[in-house]
Amino acid sequence: MIRMRDGIAGVVLIALMIAGVVTPAVGAKLAGDKVRLGVIMPQAGIFVDWGQHGLIGAEIAKEEINAAGGIGGLPLELVMADDRGDPKESVTLTRRLAQTDRVLMIHGSISSSSGGVMYPLSQSLKVVIVSPTAAAPGLTDKFRPWAYTMNPGAARALGTGLAPCASTTRKSGRRWCSTTRPTPSPRPRRPW
C-alpha cells in the first residue's frame, strides 16, 4: 500500500511540473480554491481488484498531501470515476473529467486498451493522463508530454528518456528507474 501511495503522490507532483511547463491553462486550474485530480479506476469487471486498490491508494495519498498543506497551499480533491474496465467508458469519462469537471490531470485507467483510447484525447483536451499499469510497448510515445505510464516495463522501454532518474543497484549492478521506491523482488528478474 505504501508503494501505491508514494506512486500516486509522485504522479501528482510530476504532473504538476509537466503541466506547469506545458500550458497556461494549468494556471487557471490552480487559481481556484482546490486542485482537482481525476481518477478513473474500474469498480466492476475483470480489473475490479486493481481498481479498488487504486482508489484506496489515491485516497490515502490525498489525505497525506492535504495533511502536509496541499499543493501550493490548495487542498487536493479527487474526482473519481468508474470505467468498469471498458475502453468506451474510459473515453466518455476522460472527456467529462477534462471538460466538465476541469481536472488538472487524470490518474488511470488500468488497462492498455483503455489507455490506448484515452491517450490520444490527452493532447486535444490538454490534460495529462498517467496510467499506473498500462504496459503496451510504445503506448504513450506519440502523445508526450500529455500521456505517461508508471509501468516499470514501459519505463525500461523509454531508455535514455529516463536517464536522469536511473541508478545502479549495489547487488546486481542493473539499472532501474521508478517514480516509487524500489522494493526487493521475491525472485531474480530475468534480463529479457
Q: Which three cell numbers stand for residue 164?
A: 536522469
31 in helix, strand or coil? coil
Instruction: Decide: 6 and 180 in contact? Cβ < 8 Å.
Output: yes
Q: What is the pTM of this model?
A: 0.66
pLDDT in tens, 89-146: 999 999 999 999 999 999 988 888 888 889 888 889 999 998 888 888 888 888 888 8
6 in helix, strand or coil? helix
Q: pLDDT class for 72, splitting at 50, 70, 90?
A: confident
pLDDT in tens, 145-165: 888 888 766 555 544 444 444
Q: Please give the pLDDT value at position 31.
A: 58
- Dist CA 183 CA 104 (whole Å): 30
Q: Which three cell numbers stand for residue 25?
A: 491553462
pLDDT in tens, 16-40: 544 454 444 445 455 578 999 999 9
Q: Is domain 2-159 annotated with CATH 3.30.360.10?
A: no
Instruction: Decide: 115 and 136 in contact? Cβ < 8 Å.
Output: yes
Q: Which three cell numbers stand for residue 20?
A: 506547469
Extended beta strands in the chain, E state: 35-40, 76-81, 105-108, 128-131, 147-149, 167-168, 175-176
DSSP string over 100-114: IS--SEEEE-SSHHH
Q: What residue has cell string 495519498?
A: 61
Q: Which residues pair with 130 in a beta bridge?
A: 107, 148
What is the pLDDT of the chain when averaged over all its residues?
Answer: 75
Helix H segments across 23-73?
A: 25-30, 48-67
